[in-house]
Chain A
Amino acid sequence: MASLQTLHPLFNRDEVFEFLKPDIPPSLDLSRGIILYLEDISVSFDGFKAINDLNLYIKDGELRCIIGPNGAGKTTMMDIITGKTRPDKGSAWFGQSINLLKLDEPEIALAGIGRKFQKPTVFENHTVHDNLELALAGNKKVLPTLKARLRSEQQDYIGETLLLIGLGDRPYSPAGSLSHGQKQWLEIGMLLMQRPKLLLIDEPAAGMTHQEMERTTELLTNLAGEHSVVVVEHDMDFIRTIARTVTVLHQGSVLAEGSMAEIQNNQKVIEVYLGG
């Protein structure tokens, strides 16, 4: 009988099969002002709980910093948001209407979440320009990509971005020849080309000189407002210069949340960081 029940929709004349439904994710709904909901998320690898009952909310247009010691689950959290890892339990919503746990990486990217990795991952054999062009928002299906030609406004946007990330003078160098900091910027530039609503940025300041870092700070603070930005970082100085709200992760769950000043005086955070 149970099987008959499951078969029943097949005989419903209005039923549209899953695979026939158009491949368009529901549009982003920000009516409550919150762009990302992570609720009761847990995930474990071989018994080790990388994320443990994590709850995190990101407001629309917010610039949020996430800090935490090694193994606190920062990267795993990013993996869950971008669809690389599936949580054992919990829910993750992008705005009110998009269930992230039902989408895979490309769908999440197209829905408007961009990610910069901890280690800069650009296409080293491609030129800087090509890297940006590949990231360009647009129809990314197979045949449209085969026929794609750059329109002039797209070309302009690439040019603007090149200037913004400070690579305007070498658009045709192979990305592999860039310095570490330049690769970081190129990756941020690629994120911008995707025109995402939410940017996840993993350790943007790593391997940067002081000047480069300042420039990155400027870039990120400018992004907030129009985009929501989540930055994961180790460098406390860097956090201090950009932070408005800081979340501290520890052993896979949120230890504390608040302004930088509050966090610095939080007893639990001091214990975790100083081992006291």
Chain B
Amino acid sequence: MHSFSRDFALAALFWLLLMTQYCSGAEPNSQFLDGLVLLSAQSFTEKEKGIELIGASQDPLAARTLQSLLDGKLFYTSKDNILVYGESEGANYAISDFLSGESLGLVKKRNLEKITINNTLRSTLKTTIALINLQHPDDTVRLAAVNAVLSDINPELLEILAGCYQTEKNEQVRDALSVALAIGGLRQQDTAKRLEALQSVRGDVHPVIKNEIQALIDRETDAIVIKAAKSTLTAIEGKIAWFARLETLFFGLSLGSVLVLAAIGLAITFGVIGVINMAHGELIMLGAYTTYVLQQLMPDSIGLALALSVPAAFGVSGLAGILIERSVIRFLYGRPLETLLATFGISLVLQQTVRSIFSPLNRSVATPDWMSGSITINPILSLTSNRVTIFFFAMLVFGALFLLLKKSSLGLNVRAVAQNRAMARAMGIRAARVDALTFGLGSGIAGIAGVALSQLTNVGPNLGQAYIIDSFMVVVFGGVGNLWGTLLGGLSLGVANKFLEPWSGAVLAKIIILVFIILFIQKRPQGLFPQKGRAAE
């Protein structure tokens, strides 16, 4: 009795203090204040009631109060029993008046009395906070609230969540709610309802649901439910594995599209002029450095700089290519091995030039906002935006090039020269000019590839070398002089590489691919799409 009356007296005192403490102006919510008073009680049952009162009070401060309590940052000053918010600073606490927010300076720990909670209260707190936040106008807060209650869903909460689900407009929050409802369903007392819930989560790949089903299998006693759960789990795992393969496929296609971009210029020069351009990698590098320079020139508009880099890199690398063709390669036509050596020399000169101008260190090129981040398909599958962009970019470049070669007069000339140089010349095609333009075109596309690469890796003098052998492999694998072969070759090598990687490790995967191509060429020296007949010789 005594203790009760003492509690009561204290409570009354607190109530008064709180009334004065509560910021003037706003009408204090009596339910909220009652709750705060109850928090100061010794008994956890009282505190729980207090929490419930606060939770139901609809007071704007309610969520913050409960969160502070949960974090153990709610105190009473020992001396004058003011409710304060305390942040530990070494041995002391920086406290502020909880209701007005006014700072009260540093105090020693012993001058404060912490409002203690136990595990039951902690759970109640979490739920209550979540319930408050579930009504919050901000989408992200609601989403966080749903995710916060996932681990302790009880039947009452389930009902509330079901209500929220009815009214929720936001897609993401609805998804989260449906996951929560499913988990709640799995915890129902009624066997039939559990079975029903199991049925409804079949195919849902959310990791929380998978864990919940695993937990259900461990704690379940009903054989039928266990069987159903196991089957559902298998289904989910199968689906997850499927998505994992999809993700690998995406990585493979992404790598493949980079390979296609890097190789397609080479395919043109190799296929049309029959020239191995060992400096192709360095033309890619020039494109990447063009991007870097443009970004340095316009640091405020990175996106625009990137967009401008595409034509600029095409121009820079294309001109470099024409220069190489006019000054070196045209003296070496008909001597493919010598051309290979001379262009290798060019690649060394270009590398060293870049090293002298830009320093041998790697430069990083910024990615514009619209290319960073990722596209989330579902909880376990998200695609990085830059890779998606580059994939489509590569396809676009391929398509444009394909149209150019098939439809334009330059394309016609190029194909004529490729098939029969002497005949084309007799028809009045200026083969030398076509050679130079073709070489410029191939080199320009290398430059564009460089722009794309600058978004994936650092830009350095050795950038080209890393891709040259891979590009050759793609061209040779796909079949010389065949654009479709290059596309298919590049994509399939990229995908094969990524599918091998988890099984063998990245380096070994690359080695396996190289060895495969070495063997493949020996079986089919003309590649995937060989040219046949007399022209092939």
Enumerate chain A interface residues (CB-CB to B < 8 A): 45-46, 48
CB-defined interface of B513-537 with A at 8 Å, one 1/0 digit per residue?
A: 0000000000000000000111000
Nearest residue (CB) in B for A76 is B534
Assembly CA distance A45 to B531 (angstroms): 10
Nearest residue (CB) in B for A84 is B537
| Residues on the B chain within 8 Å of A45, using CB | 532-534
Q: Closest approach, in angstroms, between the C-beta of B420 and any C-beta of chain A? A: 15
| Residues on the A chain within 8 Å of B532, using CB | 45-46
Instruction: Provide the main secondary structure of the chain B interface.
Output: loop
Assembly CA distance A45 to B533 (angstroms): 5
Nearest residue (CB) in A for B531 is A46
Enumerate chain B interface residues (CB-CB to A < 8 A): 532-534
Assembly CA distance A48 to B533 (angstroms): 9
Instruction: Provide the main secondary structure of the chain A interface.
Output: strand
Assembly CA distance A46 to B533 (angstroms): 7
Q: Closest approach, in angstroms, between the C-beta of A118 and any C-beta of chain B? A: 12
| Residues on the A chain within 8 Å of B534, using CB | 45
| 6 sample A-B contacts, Cβ–Cβ < 8 Å, listed by A number | A45-B532, A45-B533, A45-B534, A46-B532, A46-B533, A48-B533
Q: Closest approach, in angstroms, between the C-beta of B97 and any C-beta of chain A? A: 88
| Residues on the B chain within 8 Å of A46, using CB | 532-533
| Residues on the A chain within 8 Å of B533, using CB | 45-46, 48
Q: Closest approach, in angstroms, between the C-beta of B370 and any C-beta of chain A? A: 46
Assembly CA distance A48 to B534 (angstroms): 11
Assembly CA distance A45 to B535 (angstroms): 10
Assembly CA distance A46 to B526 (angstroms): 15
| Residues on the B chain within 8 Å of A48, using CB | 533
Q: Closest approach, in angstroms, between the C-beta of A165 and any C-beta of chain B? A: 28
Q: Closest approach, in angstroms, between the C-beta of A46 and any C-beta of chain B? A: 5
In the A-B complex, list the 4 residue pairs whose CB atoms are closest, starting with the nearest: A45-B533, A46-B532, A45-B532, A46-B533
Q: Closest approach, in angstroms, between the C-beta of A80 and any C-beta of chain B? A: 14
Assembly CA distance A90 to B403 (angstroms): 42
Assembly CA distance A48 to B532 (angstroms): 11
Assembly CA distance A46 to B530 (angstroms): 11
Nearest residue (CB) in B for A50 is B533
Assembly CA distance A89 to B533 (angstroms): 17
Nearest residue (CB) in A for B536 is A45
Nearest residue (CB) in A for B537 is A84
Assembly CA distance A46 to B532 (angstroms): 6
Q: Closest approach, in angstroms, between the C-beta of A243 and any C-beta of chain B? A: 28
Q: Closest approach, in angstroms, between the C-beta of A119 and any C-beta of chain B? A: 13
Assembly CA distance A166 to B216 (angstroms): 100
Q: Closest approach, in angstroms, between the C-beta of A52 and any C-beta of chain B? A: 15
Q: Closest approach, in angstroms, between the C-beta of B482 and any C-beta of chain A? A: 13
Assembly CA distance A45 to B532 (angstroms): 6
Q: Closest approach, in angstroms, between the C-beta of B132 and any C-beta of chain A? A: 72
Q: Closest approach, in angstroms, between the C-beta of B16 and any C-beta of chain A? A: 96
Assembly CA distance A46 to B534 (angstroms): 10
Nearest residue (CB) in B for A46 is B532
